[in-house]
A and B are shown apart, each in its own frame.
Chain A
Amino acid sequence: MKKSLSPLLKLTNFELSRLSKFLFTLMGLTVLANLVGYIYIPMKFMDKINKFTIESSATTEEVLNSLGTLSFYDVTMSLWIVAPIAIGVSGLLFYSIFIWYREWFGKNTFAYRLLMLPVSRMTLFFSKFIVIFIGIFTLISTQIVSLFIGYPIVSAIVDSTYFSSLGLIESMYMHPLFLILFPLEPNYFLILIVGATVLLVMFTLILMERSFASKGILFGIGYAMVALAIVLFPLFLSDIFNNNYLIYGSELVIIEVVLMIIVSISSLFTSRYLINNKITV
């Protein structure tokens, strides 16, 4: 056990070192953009309040009726918070592809050296998989920490009269992105399983392309489509049998989880076969 874990740890550490610059950039971008949002949006709001109060000599009630209150949720829905999340998600998606192709770039293909290492080639596969997940959770954690820093900043800038009583956790529950990204609901495990399955299928697709060149792209697309069809099939059972109540919600979730596990395991076996027997440098 110790023997196989050590190379995995070493390779994961190695992959993380290669990712770290990109990851720290994304973390920095998230924190910086968020901080701007936490300061700029409430200041702009207070500015508007002050202007309105002076220009129309309005009472607090009149101001509230006209401009309303600002909640932390309003701030989190701004581009200063949403854009870094979008960049982070697309960045890591891009990196999930780049993590393989970078080995083939340049004059001295690094892939050759990696594949010649005296360890199981699947260790290399798992280290890349783990690093992507570390990257995802690092960005999620950064976003959470940023929100905890942001809430007191926003509440300090906005006058309490004009600050909505909506708390930090309620703002998170209302946010469509945080509901998916943060472990707020019990169905979070489903999101993790979906993420892991997508990543495994994507890795298989890349390995197919690396193994069979342009033919591999076709195989890959075919494989991804079959995987997608398998996972989505239960969602169409009601249309096939013309009955929406044939399967209970809980059963549908269990079937989906089982199918995603099947797709993940087949992706792992296909990837193992490709990486051991077919991949070319």
Chain B
Amino acid sequence: MSKYIKLSSIILFIAITLTGFGLYKAQASGKQPELKIVTSQGKPELIEPVQAYGFLSHYSAGNYPSTLKLNNGSLSYLEDESFFKQLDSNINPFTDHLISNYRSFMRGKSRQANQFAETDQYILYAGLQSDVFFEGGNQNEVTLAALNKETEEEETFSVQLENDSSYNEIRAIYVDYPSVTLLVRTHSRSDKLNNVVYTFDVENPEDRLTEEVNLTREIGSDDSLYIGKPFDQTERYITLQTARENMDSMYTYTEEVTGYYAYDIKEKEVISIPSTEENMRLFTDNDKLYVGKVAKDNMGIYELKDDNQNMTLLGKFELSPSDTSNDALGYNHFNQNMTILNGKLYTYEYPEDMNRPLFKVTDIRTQEILFSGTIEQKDSNNEESPFIDIIEYRLNPMAN
């Protein structure tokens, strides 16, 4: 035995060190705090349509933020999922839902959530070659796909966009099955940007799509065009804002909203919404159009009547100062943190005394708070609150 002393001691040294290291790592890496949704007002089940991803920092979890997932009213950590599941997951809740439930349909398709739309029966997709492979290909050829959720049958169409652009970009799709509306940003060879609407009929497919409405031309402004963050892409209107960049210094600029519009998918026309001196927010829900006028600590929600010029005040809603100051223009979109879905206003905000989001659901007609709540630690003795920053937020229209 003594002749194996060197071999056995080295193996023992390795075994002890690696086991000890494993134990130390498990203990020192820190456990993410166990969290729960705490309802301070209303019915807890009303948080169920909210899907969000956020970064969580907490002293017990070390210096690395964990990725928190809110889905169907329950909280979990991305890090707790299996290694293989983590490899396939997507930070956008809608894309993640599609990958998890329609894996085969998602194969070879873009990962941009706004290029997909879901109805009770179908999932629709529109994408260009540049959406799946960065080195391009034919920039005018759109692949459209429709998946019947019940029969799992997939139909794929290849259509040509009729324009002379050097580059196209699908910004969002909307569906009123079998009609699919595509909002496309076209880059002409003279560097001029146009936002164009195309329509495709899944049941009467055509090889070529002709421009239906040129939003840029209709609006008559070269300012940047932002789209209201689309969660339910089956609605009648697409809310739009134009904004201009004002250079504050050589390195910084602010964006000033220059106009409010909506595109009526049914009537195929652009509606200009009269702006006021107050900060405005635009919302759409089913076949209704709403305007939010933001004051110092509240927001009045108005319903646009048939002529789209007269507004009726539905009620005023309290807003935290942090939220009123937020002009909410993000990359390509606005309104991530405020949405009206099926007659309810969903908001999340960061009150000044809290380092995590406060979720609220309010009935827009009665102004009754149907749900108000935040994320807390399960261990109520633990005074240290985690810091949670929402990075992706979505409302699941199917959850209602």
CB closest chain-B residue, reference A168: B28
Query: Chain B 114-154 against A: per-residue CB contact (8 Å), 1 yes, 0 no?
Result: 00000000000000010011110100000000000000000
**B63 near A16: Cβ-Cβ < 8 Å:** no
For A13, give its contact among B7, B21, B62, B88 (CB under 8 Å).
B7
Of the candidate stretches B31-39, B104-112, B221-229, B330-338, the one touching chain A is B104-112
Alpha-carbon distance A246/B132, docked complex (angstroms): 9
**A169 near B17: Cβ-Cβ < 8 Å:** no
For B109, give its contact among A13, A173, A245 (CB under 8 Å).
A245
**B64 near A250: Cβ-Cβ < 8 Å:** no
- Residues of B5-28 contacting chain A, CB below 8 A: 6-7, 10-11, 13-14, 17-18, 21-22, 24-25, 28
**A250 near B84: Cβ-Cβ < 8 Å:** yes
Alpha-carbon distance A44/B208, docked complex (angstroms): 71
Alpha-carbon distance A250/B63, docked complex (angstroms): 27
**A13 near B3: Cβ-Cβ < 8 Å:** yes
**B64 near A173: Cβ-Cβ < 8 Å:** yes
Alpha-carbon distance A249/B84, docked complex (angstroms): 8
Q: Does B251 contact A (CB under 8 A)?
A: no
Inter-chain contacts of A184 with B (CB < 8 A): 25
Inter-chain contacts of B21 with A (CB < 8 A): 144, 182-183
Q: Does A9 contact B (CB under 8 A)?
A: yes
**B4 near A249: Cβ-Cβ < 8 Å:** no
CB closest chain-A residue, reference B135: A242
Inter-chain contacts of B17 with A (CB < 8 A): 141, 144-145
- Residues of B85-121 contacting chain A, CB below 8 A: 85, 87-88, 99, 103, 106-111
**B108 near A169: Cβ-Cβ < 8 Å:** no
Interface size bracket, B side: 35 or more
For B28, give its contact among A20, A167, A243 (CB under 8 Å).
A167
Inter-chain contacts of A170 with B (CB < 8 A): 62-64
**B129 near A242: Cβ-Cβ < 8 Å:** yes
**A246 near B108: Cβ-Cβ < 8 Å:** yes
Interface size bracket, A side: 35 or more
**B4 near A13: Cβ-Cβ < 8 Å:** yes
Inter-chain contacts of A148 with B (CB < 8 A): 24
- Residues of A224-261 contacting chain B, CB below 8 A: 238, 241-246, 248-250, 253-254
**B63 near A166: Cβ-Cβ < 8 Å:** yes
CB closest chain-B residue, reference A186: B83
Q: Does B29 contact A (CB under 8 A)?
A: yes
**B63 near A137: Cβ-Cβ < 8 Å:** no
Alpha-carbon distance A148/B23, docked complex (angstroms): 13
CB closest chain-B residue, reference A131: B7
**B108 near A243: Cβ-Cβ < 8 Å:** yes
Closest CB in chain A relative to B10 CB, distance in Å: 6
For B110, give its contact among A16, A169, A245 (CB under 8 Å).
A245
**A138 near B28: Cβ-Cβ < 8 Å:** no
A141 with B88: in contact, given A169-B25, A169-B29, A173-B64 (CB under 8 Å)? no
Alpha-carbon distance A140/B7, docked complex (angstroms): 16
A169 with B83: in contact, given A16-B10, A245-B132 (CB under 8 Å)? no
A134 with B11: in contact, given A13-B4, A17-B6 (CB under 8 Å)? yes
Closest CB in chain A relative to B16 CB, distance in Å: 8
For A20, give its contact among B6, B18, B64, B85 (CB under 8 Å).
B6
Query: Chain B 42-71 against A: per-residue CB contact (8 Å), 1 yes, 0 no?
Result: 000000000000000000001110000000
Query: Chain A 140-157 against B: per-residue CB contact (8 Å), 1 yes, 0 no?
Result: 110011001000000000
For A169, give its contact among B4, B62, B109 (CB under 8 Å).
B62
- Residues of A1-52 contacting chain B, CB below 8 A: 9, 12-13, 16-17, 20
**B134 near A13: Cβ-Cβ < 8 Å:** no
Most B C-beta atoms less than 10 A away, residue of A12, A138, A244 = A244
Q: Does A277 contact B (CB under 8 A)?
A: no
Inter-chain contacts of B83 with A (CB < 8 A): 186-187
**A141 near B14: Cβ-Cβ < 8 Å:** yes
**B84 near A253: Cβ-Cβ < 8 Å:** yes
Inter-chain contacts of A253 with B (CB < 8 A): 84, 87
**B22 near A16: Cβ-Cβ < 8 Å:** no
A169 with B24: in contact, given A245-B109, A245-B110 (CB under 8 Å)? yes
Inter-chain contacts of A140 with B (CB < 8 A): 18
Inter-chain contacts of A169 with B (CB < 8 A): 24-25, 28-29, 62
**B62 near A245: Cβ-Cβ < 8 Å:** no
Closest CB in chain A relative to B150 CB, distance in Å: 24
**B103 near A248: Cβ-Cβ < 8 Å:** yes
For B6, give its contact among A13, A167, A242 (CB under 8 Å).
A13
Closest CB in chain A relative to B15 CB, distance in Å: 9
A243 with B133: in contact, given A13-B4, A134-B11, A250-B87 (CB under 8 Å)? yes
Alpha-carbon distance A69/B6, docked complex (angstroms): 43
Inter-chain contacts of B64 with A (CB < 8 A): 170, 173
Query: Chain A 102-129 against B: per-residue CB contact (8 Å), 1 yes, 0 no?
Result: 0000000000000000000000000000
Inter-chain contacts of B6 with A (CB < 8 A): 13, 16-17, 20
A138 with B10: in contact, given A183-B21, A245-B110, A248-B88 (CB under 8 Å)? yes
Alpha-carbon distance A166/B64, docked complex (angstroms): 11
- Residues of A156-177 contacting chain B, CB below 8 A: 166-170, 173
Q: What 12 additional pairs, Cβ within 8 angstroms, besides A13-B4, A166-B63?
A: A20-B6, A134-B14, A167-B28, A169-B28, A170-B62, A242-B133, A243-B133, A245-B132, A246-B108, A248-B88, A249-B88, A253-B87
- A sample of 25 inter-chain contacts (CB < 8 A) reads A17-B6, A20-B6, A134-B7, A138-B13, A141-B14, A167-B28, A167-B62, A167-B63, A169-B25, A170-B62, A170-B63, A183-B18, A184-B25, A242-B129, A242-B135, A244-B132, A244-B134, A245-B106, A245-B111, A246-B108, A248-B87, A248-B103, A249-B88, A250-B85, A253-B84
- Residues of chain B at the chain A interface (Cβ within 8 Å): 3-4, 6-7, 10-11, 13-14, 17-18, 21-22, 24-25, 28-29, 62-64, 83-85, 87-88, 99, 103, 106-111, 129, 132-135, 137
User: Closest 9 interchain pairs by CB?
Assistant: A249-B87, A141-B17, A250-B84, A186-B83, A169-B28, A242-B133, A250-B87, A137-B14, A13-B7
